[in-house]
Every structure is written in C-alpha cells, then in structure tokens.
Amino acid sequence: MTEVEETNTSEDLVDRVAAIDIAKATGTVCMRLPHESRPERRVQQVWNVAATTRSILELGDRLVCQGVTRVVMESTGTYWKPFFVLLEARGLQCWLVNARDVKNVPGRPKTDRLDAVWLAKLTERGMLRPSFVPPKPVRQLRDLTRTRTVLLQERSRHKQRIEKILEDAQIKLSTVVSDLFGVSGRAMIEAMIAGERSPQALAGLARGRMNAKRDPLIEAFTGQFEDHHGFLCQTLLDLIDHLTAQVDRLTARITTAIESLPGPDGTPGSGPSLVERLDAVPGIGPTAAQILLAELGPDMRVFPTADHLAAWAKLTPRTVQSGGTNVSRPTGKGNPWLKGALGEIALAASHTDTFLGARYKRLVKRRGRHKALVAVARSILIIVWHLANDPDAVYNDLGIDYHQRLIDPARRTRDLVRQLKALGHDVTLTPTA
C-alpha cells in the first residue's frame, strides 16, 4: 500500500534552533545555525549556562540576536520552568518535550553535551512534538488545586492515625460509627481527650440516628484510653483543624482564580460557567470540576478532537502488533493529577443509575473492575472535551436503558429462543397486551 505524505519544509525543518539539556544548577545549550557561505553545512555551538535568572536572560538575548526561532528543552522535574518562562518572555518559541521521545540511540555515550546536540538535531529536522504547557493563569490554578489535593491527602492520613491510636487503646469506635469525624464522633473523641472515661457518658453524646446504637457504643468504648492517647489525639486533631482551614483558604482562592480565568477568546468569565456545566455530569462535583479545569484549561483548541485528549491522558487502549499478532499493552502513566481525579469520578459514576453507571455494569462482567473504570473515565473525559469545546453545550444523560434501546427486539427474541431450544426446551411465545 502506497501512502503519499505532503511535507512542508518551512514547517518541518527549522533553520535556527537551540536545545537545552537542563540540570538543577546549569544547562547545556546547543545552538545550530546555517553556515554563512555554504548552505548545506551547519554551524554548531555548545556552552554551559548557569540556571540563574540573570544568566537565563542573557541567554535569551543571545538567542534572539542569532535569530533562533525555536528553543527545545527536555522535561526534567521542575528545573525546566525557569528556562521556559524566562525565554518565553523574551519572545522565543519554547517547546517542552517528553524525555521518552528524545531518548538517545542505545550504545552511544551519554553526556550533557551529546544530549544537547542530539536534542538540537531532532529539533531542526522536525522530529519532535511539544508537550502541553498551559498558559500562566492555568498553571497558577494548577498549583492551587494540586496543593489542595496534597493537603486533603495529608488530612486523611492524620485521620487514619487517630483511628490507629483508638485501636491501640481498645476503643472500637470505627466499627460502630461510619464517620469517625462527624458531629457525634468528633464530640466523643474530644470528650475522651478531656478526661471522660465512662462508656455510658460517651455513648450519650450520640446524635441523630446514632442514638439507636447506644449498646454497641457502650461496648466499643470499653477499653484502656489513657492520657498518653489523649495527648496524641489532641495533637493530630490540631493538625486536622489547621489543614481544614488551609483547604478552605485554597478553595476560596481557587474560586477567585476561576472567575478571572480567560476563555479561548481571551475574555474572562468562562471558568465558572464551565465548572457549573461539568458539575452536571454524574460523578463530577465542584471540587472535581475545578481540578479538571485546572489540568486541562478552558481552551480545547490544543486538542483537535476528543480522541486526542483521551490519548494525551493515556486513557486510550494501546495495541502493539508484531508478526501478525496484536498484543494489548498498558495505557501509560499520563498526568497523575488528572487520572487520579478521573478515577474518583468514574468510581462515583459507576454507582449511579445513569448511562455511565450502565456502561460500567456492562463492562465489568467481561473486562473486570479496573478496565471498566478506565473505560468509564475515558467516556467522562470525552464528555468534558465536548462541554469545554462548545460553550453552549450542556450535559444530557442518555439514560440507563440506552444500550437496550439500540437492540432490535425481534433479533433479540430470536437469539433467546435459539438458546432455550439448544438447552432442550420447547418455546411458545405469547405477546403481551
């Protein structure tokens, strides 16, 4: 089979490029330019630059004077950010590339100089593709949402430590109370810290529906809670309260940042509308909608289609073919913050009586729980792309019986009758009124 590919030399081949192999304290720069008198030759310069603001700005001035049009750097932790931000401010086109895409040829020596040269050669031949780096407002929103996620995780760890302390004191409160840090559970823990040891008095602090569990609570509070346990619990409760206050501050800051987030046309105000429309999707709450907006941004022009977005998030099945054999491979890592949020959303949506819940129940029978959740997460990401790409789009659930409506009743009836006859039954059908 013959395929013809149109190649635009002006786009695929870059005459003046620079590549930076970035480390923590320095960066090795390789600049490749056309030869002044011999067009078929290239002039190459390699030097080291300190990873300080002044040195990077001087590097930007030098590259601009040489007419460099594209600067490519490899993603290395967070060390690429000063080079990317400062050189971009100088008007240079900066590309951040995946380290897997620029891996050197095996067997060759590996040094910072050779890595920079290899990266520059790949750049000038148009063999690289840039990674998605959102604009500054979205990057700042990302910092806020990721910090909130970390603090929420840390708060959950402190809550688990308190439960372990109660278990060490033979207090089985978590076996009776569903929410250990609800109104009743928190009041009971604070009473024990204050010195209350009577199981009857502690069980009397139950509120609402927990009043019906008085006898199990008395049995659960029969233990050996001492002042040592009270000191540890109070220390952890203080940390939990402090983290809760910080999470509330971050949430308020995130809400303000979303309100001022510019839309695809540059005008602010599209963020809150998008969060509200995302909130209508099963499994997505306000917090998850904010995380999706921070990780993807409001401008979907970066991803031409929904399939591009799913492939970028590593939620598309990957097939490797060799010798006529197709082998399924893992989807890949992707953005851990995005995939973590999508995993929680998919798990919540799988328990709903909606199209997404029905999709999970259909897939989990033959594909297993993990693959079914990944498929639901991909469907949710497709929905997110359409909502973000079209400002007038709203979510309309297809219904739990969507797949059943696609089935031809006559054909389904014939299949069932054939199966029953194969089992040795004589089938007589009587249509209902």
**What is the chain's mean pLDDT, rounded?**
89
> What pLDDT, on a 0 to 100 scale, did the predictor assign at position 129?
87
Q: Alpha-carbon distance 301 to 389, whole Å?
A: 8
**pLDDT(432) > 70:** yes
Q: Which token pair is 390?
A: 């079209």
Per-residue pLDDT reduced to its tens digit, 153-195: 999 999 999 999 999 999 999 999 988 999 999 999 999 999 9
Cα distance between residue 241 and residue 273, in whole Å: 32
Token couple for 313: 């998030």
Query: From CA 123, how far away is CA 102, in angstroms rounded?
Result: 10
How much is the average pLDDT of 271-282? Answer: 90
Closest CA to 203 of 193, 192, 218, 190: 218
pLDDT at 126: 84
Which residues have C-beta within 8 Å of that of residue 239, sequence separation ≥ 6?
155, 158
> What pLDDT digit, counting tens, does each position of 307-334 carry?
999 999 999 887 778 777 877 777 778 8
Report the Cα 157 to chain-centroid distance in Å.
21
Segment 376-393 mean pLDDT = 93
Helix (H) or strand (E) holding 113: helix 112-124
User: 145 is written with which tokens?
Assistant: 């949402």
Q: HSE of 350 in the Cβ direction (CA atoms, 13 Å)? A: 21
Q: Residue holding tokens 């897997």?
A: 100
Length reported for the chain: 433
What's residue 271's pLDDT?
78
- What pLDDT is stored for residue 327 in this prediction? 78
Is 298 in contact with 388 (CB distance < 8 Å)?
Answer: yes
- Read off the pLDDT of each residue in 287-300 and give the average, rounded to a whole number: 94
Q: Which of 237, 247, 239 is nearest to 163 (CA)?
A: 237
State residue 201's pLDDT score.
Answer: 93
- pLDDT surpasses 50 at 7: no
pLDDT of residue 410: 86
**Can you give the pLDDT at residue 48?**
94
Rounded Cα distance between 216 and 267, Å, is 59
Q: What is the pTM of this model?
A: 0.85
pLDDT at 178: 87
Q: Specify the pLDDT at position 405.
A: 84
Q: Show the DSSP H helices in 126-226 as ranges.
A: 136-168, 183-194, 199-203, 214-220
| pLDDT given for residue 127 in this prediction | 87
The confidence score (pLDDT) of residue 264 equals 67
SS3 328: strand
Q: By the 8 A CB rule, do 335 and 297 touch?
A: no
Place of tokens 């199209």: 355
Sheet containing strand 17-22, edge to edge, reads: 42-50, 26-34, 17-22, 70-74, 93-97
The predicted structure's pLDDT at residue 427: 86
Within its chain, how far is the Cα of 380 from the centroid? 13
| pLDDT score at 188 | 94
Ramachandran sector of residue 73 (left: φ over 0; alpha: ψ -120 to 50; beta: rest): beta
Q: Which amino acid is at 95?
A: W
Query: Is-contact 110 28, C-beta < 8 A?
Result: no
Q: Reply yes or no on whether the pLDDT at 8 is more than 60.
A: no
Whether the CB-CB separation of 344 and 330 falls below 8 Å is answered with: no
Q: How far is CA 351 from the centre of its chain?
A: 21
pLDDT single digits (tens) 187-232: 999 999 999 999 999 999 998 888 889 999 999 999 999 999 999 9
Share of the chain above pLDDT 90, in %: 64
From residue 392, alpha-carbon distances to 237, 270, 315 in Å are 45, 11, 26
How would residue 249 be classed by pLDDT, with cut points 50, 70 and 90? very high
Say if residue 364's pLDDT is above 90: yes
Whether the CA torsion 177, 178, 183, 189 is positive or negative: it is positive
Q: What's the half-sphere exposure (Cβ side, CA atoms, 13 Å) at 218?
A: 7
Q: Cα(293)–Cα(27) distance, rounded to whole angstroms?
A: 33
**pLDDT tens digits, one per residue of 115-134:** 899 999 998 888 888 989 99
